[in-house]
Structure 1
Amino acid sequence: MFLNLLGITFIFTALGLLPIIYDIVRRKGQGVKKGMIIYLFFFICSFIFVYWMTPPQNLSSIISSNLTVAFLISLVLFFSSPIEKIAGPISGKGVRNFQFKGFGFPAKIPVLILVIGILFAAASAVLRITSINNVYDTIQVKKVSKTEELRSTEETPIAISTASARNKMRKMMSVVPNSNVYDLGTITAQNVDGDYVYVASLEFKGLTKWFKFRESPGYLIISATDINAQPKFVKSKMKYIPTAYLNYDAGRKIYSEATQYANVGAVNLEIANDGTPYYVQTLTKEYGISGITYFNRYKVALLNAVTGDVKVYDLKDVPKFVDAPLTSKVAQEMNQFYGKYGDGWWNSFFGQKNVKEPTDNGIYSNGAVTPLLDKKDNLLYFTDFTSPDSSQDSALGYSLINARTGVLQYYRDKKGMMDSDGAISVASKIYPEKKWKARMPILYNVSGTPTWVISLLDSNGIFKKYVYLSAIDSDILVDGDTAQGTLDAYRTQLATTDSSNNNVAASDLTEFSGVVRRVNLNTNGTTTTVSFLLENDETIFIMNTSNNLYSIFLEVGDTVSFKANVIKGQTTATVEDLTIQNVTPE
């Protein structure tokens, strides 16, 4: 690793030898020792920079680094060279006069390098702008017609906030040996053995503590769906972590094996099915003097935190246990680029047609995205988009980015939806006296209605309640203590309004027939709903009578047939196409 970094440093500083060689030749072999001392000083400084900052070994960084070093060395040679004196005529008193020509090293050299550097920077900027359309085309976009469906909390878990998870983990630190040495690292969401969990490594608090202990005792893990769950400490001696030093730093260890790639975001901890901890780093290749990157050319590095073994994979070849080979930083950058440059660079500043901005109400990458699992247990990054006009609070759509494939699913409701800022504002006003904070807004499809699912937290980040809020009608709102109970209550409220399953595909509706054993008619203002039970079925079927006027005549003993959106694990179902034998006209 050390020799590898020495070679990289030479590549970054080789151009600095040219002004030294030029000075030696100009002075006919003099100044060799001085020149080597100057170069060695800048080489050592550059080595420290490379070792500490781990810059990517690509054309853009190599050229900029070499120009910087060459410019600084030429300045040192200019100011340290002796002033040249030229012998003049002998005066009347027999004394020879001398004329001073100036510094020995010509000023045109550093000026020339500076001009080249400015031209290089300008060319890089121009090429980045002219490449925007090509970069935009590398985003794999899949436009969808409806939001991710929330069928049940078992199939699509709703995560508690990272603040709640971190608070609980800190209270569990007492079970960790020498807990005063460590602090919690970054919390990441992932699927471990079929469970949606949060994981956080134990990181060193400083150099002295790392120098004494040299390894972390393990990591903490907690359910991301069960608000009553407590964290568990898992023993696993980890030598290679982000807060270790020298060659045991996780980021530096990965860099030594992948110097030609640039890091995208920080390293994330992921746990294999056998409990082995790995650090995951998303990598990208920067091209040309502009250093542009493409959204479909990622690499992924895996570092075994126990052994230090590093492997670099193509995205399609990453082991299956890795839920997020693409870190949240990738999703953040992809969302920003997708929202801003759909109609080109010029339009992003002037006109701003179709320009949209991702909101900052997530929990990853400083609020850029929120993780969730879909029905197939794929980890997705969610964010919604709003208008650049701060006076508007309507959502222009939302995206779900697959953390394994990088495919961006984009949804936009033509009816107009409330954005996450508006949803948070509404949810925060439910209990104003408690001063609870609304966090983690995620948009789901509940019975065909775009719905914001929000967590209410107290000042310490402790979960208090769930809030389900219609994104198209803020009057439809339910809060509750459990995800399943709140979801059932919300679906019931949807059924008592004019909402219907018009966004639910016909294939998602189930056909029923049977004899009615219980009926309840409920009137709330101008809205009337009928609820009923069938014989040998515990599902509560609910229908708005405005969708079928004959439903108000439903009685116990009637034979009925209908279609309903029945969700596994839920006690209620919304009815469509109700037919009552001998009542409904044929």
Structure 2
Amino acid sequence: MMGILLTTILSFPLFFLFSLLAMIRKKKSSKSIRNWIIIFITGFVLCGLFNYLALPALTVPNLLVENFIVCLVLVPLLYYKTGIPFSYKRPHRSISGILIILLIVALPVSLFIGLSALDNAYHSIAKQETGEAEPFNEDDTPITVSPEFARNKVQKAMSVVPNTQFYDLGKLQVQKVDNEIMYVAPVEFTGLWKYLRGKETEGFFTIPATDINAQPQFVQSNMLFTNSSYFNHNVQRTIYNEYPHYVQSGEAQIEVDDDGKPWYIQTLYKPIKLTNKPDMDHLKVAVVDPVSGDLQLYNPSEAPSFIDSPVSSEMAGKQNNYFGKYVHGWLNALFGKKDVKIPNESGTENTVTPIFDSNGEMYYFTDMASPKENIDSALGYTLINARTAELTYYSGKNNSGIMDSKGAKQIVNKEFPEKNWEGSMPILYNIDGNPTWVVNVLDPNGLFKQYAYIKANDSDFVVFGETAEETLAAYRMQLAQDPGNPEASEDVELETISGEVNRSLVTSTASGQSVQFILKDDTTIYTVNASKAPLAIFLQQGDVVEMEVKIRDNDVGTVEQISIASLEKK
């Protein structure tokens, strides 16, 4: 309670000054002193109750507003009860006038300081920029289940929770549990009366983030300190009482340690002096034991290893916003807008999408667009390390002309207008050298229906499928069939293959022809563009070929050179 008490005390200095003026003007009497005490105690209790409920951070702007409100409410009441008129004889008139002027001027001055601090917030971000935008590899970002679909599944499993009528599903958070990427969500109280009856929540759900057919599992783990608990068992209030001078970013989330025990995790930041603007260089993470309420504070990079995201998605969203808008200062963000970038709002959590790289580290992905309306091309994208808060911006100069995530979702939305299916969780992948948006397709109830693979620089190149594996295979096949497609297998070594043709098929597209064939006793599907080997369109069963091929792991081979024995000049 010390944090709330300190905030309340610091909300009354201006009231004390005005009270002093009143007592100087009014001849002291036991009645006036009694009235002052009654007004002060009543105001202090009401202000304390407000702080207990609202938990405003102990910052200069917040204290200034509270002092202003306290004076606005209590001073007229004080003057009325003591019988002092508002017009004074000198010197009281000048003193009170100065205080009123200072109070009025302080608010716009504080606003201006806050605007000026936007530049400092931008410079406090640990950031780097690279001109080469290399999309993710599909093996590095295995999250394939959208959070809407996962939440829908978990909601349907709520009946397994004891006293289920007390609870609703809390914040869904992606993380690694036993080296498997999972969504984790606690059950939370639905209101005060349910809290008074239940006292403790029953546990949390987990559901794999990589398998659309997986089912949620409920883990029994009673928690006394939660987001939905009241009074001093509320996690936010527990943190506030110890660290009122820090601002809490977003809602606390649970993360599960190696022993299966849940912990509430909350990102905090220290504001820039005289403002509420975040200083990204002074981030902290509070870790609360939901059973005992014990609280530990860490630097994000030094948090326990089981915590995948000491930096919350809310904080990552703030970083993207400051990084994109204030690159040349807040005035430029309002007027010139030189180099200004706007984060797209296609992310699954506060405009960002959590992903994991090949090393198991968690990042937040967001693509950036132009502030100019009706432009659907991506300027680049950011990756924010969820442990260190370091931001890397990939400018996309080598992938110019690719659509942004909003455009990718619109393509999906227009594909099924009669069913009202919509795109969700677009992530930019590198599929055989082609920047590709991979999008979940959901029905209006949040149920998964299909995957969509969309070539990022060709809005007409779209493949839909029921599973990630079959959609990827079909997309790669279509890439191989497109004669106009640039070389897409730079990371695959050439192999020399020879054999007898078993089946062949000529495919025509708007940009030319391609030939697909299989060899005897070989299930690999080989594709050769007719522009590279014109004689290939005459392939038939029984022809003997020798070729140089790049074969990917899905048994699809791209033919670079081919020699057909029966068609070669003698």
TM-score past 0.5 threshold: yes
SS in structure 2 of the partner of residue 404 of structure 1? coil
The residue aligned with 2:432 is: 447
Equivalent in 90, 97, 110 of residue 124 of structure 1? 110
Q: Does 1:20 align with 2:7?
A: no
Deviation at 1:285, TM superposition (A): 0.4
Q: Does 1:370 align with 2:370?
A: no
Measured in 2, the distance between the counterparts of 1:172 and 1:475 equals 39
SS in structure 2 of the partner of residue 319 of structure 1? coil
Aligned partner of 1:131: which letter?
A
The residue aligned with 1:115 is: 101
Aligned partner of 1:58: which letter?
T
The residue aligned with 1:234 is: 219
Equivalent in 137, 146, 149 of residue 150 of structure 1? 137
The residue aligned with 1:383 is: 366
Aligned partner of 2:167: which letter?
Y
The residue aligned with 1:134 is: 120
Q: Write the mapping of 1:149-188 to structure 2, written as runs, cut at 5 A.
A: 149-152=136-139, 155-188=140-173
The residue aligned with 2:177 is: 192
The residue aligned with 2:377 is: 394
Q: Write the mapping of 1:517-532 to structure 2, written as runs, cut at 5 A.
A: 518=501, 520=504, 522-525=506-509, 526-531=511-516
Q: Does 1:572 align with 2:556?
A: yes
Q: Write the mapping of 1:91-490 to structure 2, written as runs, cut at 5 A.
A: 111-139=97-125, 140-143=127-130, 145-152=132-139, 155-365=140-350, 368-414=351-397, 415-490=400-475
1:292-326 per-position Cα deviation (integer Å, ceiling 9, x unaligned): 32223211111122221111101210112111111
Q: Could you tell which deviates more after superposition, 262-271 or 19-28?
A: 19-28
Deviation at 1:479, TM superposition (A): 0.2
User: Does the aligned pair in 2 maintain the 1:173–1:179 contact within 8 Å?
Assistant: yes
Structure 2: gaps spanning 5 or more residues: none
Deviation at 1:110, TM superposition (A): 5.8
Aligned partner of 1:522: which letter?
V
Aligned partner of 2:288: which letter?
L
- The 1:72/1:370 distance shift into structure 2, 3 A limit, reads same
User: Does the aligned pair in 2 maintain the 1:78–1:103 contact within 8 Å?
Assistant: no
Structure 1: gaps spanning 5 or more residues: 85-99
User: Does the aligned pair in 2 maintain the 1:70–1:113 contact within 8 Å?
Assistant: no
SS in structure 2 of the partner of residue 372 of structure 1? strand
The residue aligned with 2:496 is: 513
The residue aligned with 2:56 is: 55
TM-score, normalised by the number of residues in structure 1: 0.86
Measured in 2, the distance between the counterparts of 1:541 and 1:149 equals 26
1:120-164 per-position Cα deviation (integer Å, ceiling 9, x unaligned): 222223223333333222221333523332334xx4213322222
Q: Could you tell which deviates more after superposition, 344-353 or 201-210?
A: 344-353
Measured in 2, the distance between the counterparts of 1:499 and 1:307 equals 63
SS in structure 2 of the partner of residue 433 of structure 1? coil
Q: Could you tell which deviates more after superposition, 521-530 or 486-495?
A: 521-530
Measured in 1, the distance between the counterparts of 2:93 and 2:224 equals 51
Deviation at 1:518, TM superposition (A): 4.8
How many residue pairs get aligned? The number is: 559
SS in structure 2 of the partner of residue 450 of structure 1? strand
Aligned partner of 2:236: which letter?
G
Aligned partner of 1:268: which letter?
Q
Aligned partner of 2:507: which letter?
T
User: Does the aligned pair in 1 maintain the 2:284–2:297 contact within 8 Å?
Assistant: yes
User: Does the aligned pair in 2 maintain the 1:466–1:479 contact within 8 Å?
Assistant: yes
Q: Could you tell which deviates more after superposition, 294-303 or 210-219?
A: 294-303
User: Does the aligned pair in 1 maintain the 2:497–2:549 contact within 8 Å?
Assistant: no
User: Does the aligned pair in 1 maintain the 2:3–2:240 contact within 8 Å?
Assistant: no
User: Does the aligned pair in 2 maintain the 1:515–1:535 contact within 8 Å?
Assistant: no
User: Does the aligned pair in 2 maintain the 1:78–1:104 contact within 8 Å?
Assistant: no
User: Does the aligned pair in 2 maintain the 1:17–1:39 contact within 8 Å?
Assistant: no
Measured in 2, the distance between the counterparts of 1:452 and 1:392 equals 17
TM-score, normalised by the number of residues in structure 2: 0.89
Deviation at 1:75, TM superposition (A): 2.8
1:359-417 per-position Cα deviation (integer Å, ceiling 9, x unaligned): 2222222xx12222222222222222223333222222222222222222323434312
User: Does the aligned pair in 2 maintain the 1:60–1:288 contact within 8 Å?
Assistant: no
SS in structure 2 of the partner of residue 131 of structure 1? helix
1:347-367 per-position Cα deviation (integer Å, ceiling 9, x unaligned): 2222322223222222222xx
1:474-533 per-position Cα deviation (integer Å, ceiling 9, x unaligned): 1211000001110111111112224656587x5x33343343455745322343334566
User: Does the aligned pair in 1 maintain the 2:454–2:462 contact within 8 Å?
Assistant: yes
Aligned partner of 2:508: which letter?
N
User: Does the aligned pair in 2 maintain the 1:18–1:70 contact within 8 Å?
Assistant: no
SS in structure 1 of the partner of residue 531 of structure 2? helix
Aligned partner of 1:39: which letter?
F
User: Does the aligned pair in 1 maintain the 2:483–2:513 contact within 8 Å?
Assistant: no
Measured in 2, the distance between the counterparts of 1:193 and 1:538 equals 37
Measured in 2, the distance between the counterparts of 1:401 and 1:203 equals 29
Deviation at 1:271, TM superposition (A): 1.5
Deviation at 1:334, TM superposition (A): 1.5
Measured in 1, the distance between the counterparts of 2:87 and 2:438 equals 77
SS in structure 2 of the partner of residue 113 of structure 1? helix
- The 1:44/1:193 distance shift into structure 2, 3 A limit, reads same
Aligned residues: CA RMSD:
3.1
Aligned partner of 1:12: which letter?
S
User: Does the aligned pair in 2 maintain the 1:199–1:269 contact within 8 Å?
Assistant: yes
SS in structure 2 of the partner of residue 124 of structure 1? helix
1:30-85 per-position Cα deviation (integer Å, ceiling 9, x unaligned): 3333222222222112211221122222344334433443454433323333257x
- The 1:4/1:407 distance shift into structure 2, 3 A limit, reads closer
SS in structure 2 of the partner of residue 342 of structure 1? coil
